[in-house]
Amino acid sequence: MSKHYLELSGVDMRFRTEKGEFEALKNINLKLQKGEFVSLIGHSGCGKSTVLNLVAGLYAPSTGGVILEGREVDGPGPERAVVFQNHALLPWLTVEQNIALAVDNTFTRQSKAERKERVAHFLALVHMNHAAHKLPGEISGGMKQRVGIARALAVDPKVLLMDEPFGALDALTRAHLQDSLMEIQAELGNTVIMITHDVDEAVLLSDRIVMMTNGPSATIGEILDIPLDRPRNRVQLSDDALYHKLRRRVLSFLYEGHNKVSQITSKSKVA
């Protein structure tokens, strides 16, 4: 078994289009440890969602493979839960029922009482017990996103995949949810891959930031370690020199322009 928990190994992704084949990703190599929080950042269209879809098992790589705990991913599975930007809750079910549906489908051998308790636990974890009986149409965008996260976590995924989970939210709600996510991850220790366009969000939440070059044939340009102590406090970090250095490194990567895949993958540390 690979000593890494999750691995993308030599992954290329080519799509068939009307104009012929389009190579979105070229030679993606990434290894994650269990419990690691990794962000993917890069310009629009570089292939971040494609990477996530490959790990989710929604796409099969054209070359290479995705390996989780030594086994090749060959389709979607409950051990890899996805949270999208637009929460995708079923509008005719209450908050509680939305989570219960996922729990009931996954834990078929558990008693009704056990499943009910699980739903309540995850509702409480995202501070949504007070709205358990509301319909998605009756709650705010931030609350819907909390429910989406609870639903994803309630099935005990080994890997949580998040595609710009807070992208559609106002700054304050976003900050609250980032804090909640850090607390939850500290408690549950899920392995997370999150796509974001927000440099501050990436530095605040991540153990490592994976920076992608522009497509076509996008690849990993640089991987930045984020050695900031946890728990992290956004107010304290605003005065932290290392935080600013890391932030600057990501910004300069994004603004340097990476149209051509000229460099081999480098791993950088900002000391």
Ligand X SMILES: Nc1ncnc2c1ncn2[C@@H]1O[C@H](COP(=O)(O)OP(=O)(O)OP(=O)(O)O)[C@@H](O)[C@H]1O
Interacting residues toward ligand X by CB under 6 A:
15, 17, 22, 24, 42, 44-50, 215
Q: Token pair for residue 211?
A: 């920076």
112's CB contacts (< 8 A; 6+ apart) are: none
Q: Which is nearer to ligand X, 17 or 111 (CB)?
A: 17
The CA distance from 240 to 226, in Å, is 13
The CA distance from 126 to 188, in Å, is 13
Cβ neighbours around 165 below 10 Å, total: 28
Q: Which is nearer to ligand X, 40 or 81 (CB)?
A: 40
| Shortest Å distance, C-beta 115 to ligand X | 34
| Shortest Å distance, C-beta 158 to ligand X | 23
| Shortest Å distance, C-beta 104 to ligand X | 31
Coil/strand/helix, residue 80: strand
Q: Which is nearer to ligand X, 3 or 19 (CB)?
A: 19
The CA distance from 33 to 40, in Å, is 16
Closest CA to 259 of 218, 223, 220, 222: 218
| Shortest Å distance, C-beta 253 to ligand X | 15
Q: Which is nearer to ligand X, 45 or 78 (CB)?
A: 45
Q: Which residues of 222-249 are buried (b: 16+ CB within 10 A; e: fewer)?
A: bbbebebeeebeeeebeeeeebeebbeb
| Shortest Å distance, C-beta 131 to ligand X | 29
Phi, psi of 168 (to 5 degrees): -95, 10
Closest CA to 244 of 98, 252, 47: 252
Q: Which is nearer to ligand X, 50 or 178 (CB)?
A: 50
| Shortest Å distance, C-beta 16 to ligand X | 7
| Shortest Å distance, C-beta 45 to ligand X | 4
Cβ neighbours around 202 below 10 Å, total: 26
